[in-house]
Amino acid sequence: MEPIVENQDRITLTFIGKLDNGAVFMRVPADKPMSLRIGDAELPPSVEQTLTGMKIGETRTVRVDPDEGYGPRMKNLLHEVPRNTIGHRFEPKAGMLISQKVERDGKQHSVPATIIEVHDETVVLDYNHPLAGHHLTYELTVVAIEKFSQP
């Protein structure tokens, strides 16, 4: 009897993650597969549910809503800042991903931001995760299953 993926099994898988427009945002190829334990919440719940019941070599596709993925886009994470706050080492362009220093809890942190608008004196930065607000489609293939056994 072929093993199937069940809760707490450690599995090895490959996958391709795509946006609705077909753009690939992540690829885990066969020569560098990913290993994880089902039930450890390393992937969105609908992805783990899709993997559950799969056999080695089986491929399934699942679409993840923004709320389950990287969350909705939040307007309060858009900030217009003086252009000189992003430095002078490069010419800012819409779509560029940069790292900004922000203060939180009295400490400086580097936070990624996407430049979404460039004006003469200011730039508009988006601190949302780049995949926030997007539906994500995963094509999953199970490569190996290590059955869970209690000690």
pLDDT value at 151 more than 70: no
Alpha helix (H) residue ranges in 86-136: none
| Low-confidence winner among 60-69, 85-94, 137-146 (lowest mean pLDDT) | 85-94
* Pick from 9-13, 56-60, 68-72, 102-106: least confident: 102-106
| More reliable by pLDDT, 46 or 104 | 46
More confident residue, 53 or 1: 53
Average pLDDT, the chain: 94
CB 42 within 8 A of CB 104: no
What order do you get walking across the sheet with 122-126 strand by strand? 78-82, 122-126, 107-118, 97-104
Question: Domains, the chain, ranges and CATH?
Answer: 10-70+132-146 (3.10.50.40), 75-126 (2.40.10.330)
The stretch 12-26 carries a mean pLDDT of 97
Please tell me the distance from the alpha carbon of residue 76 to that of residue 53, in angstroms, as a whole number. Answer: 41
Dist CA 92 CA 134 (whole Å): 25
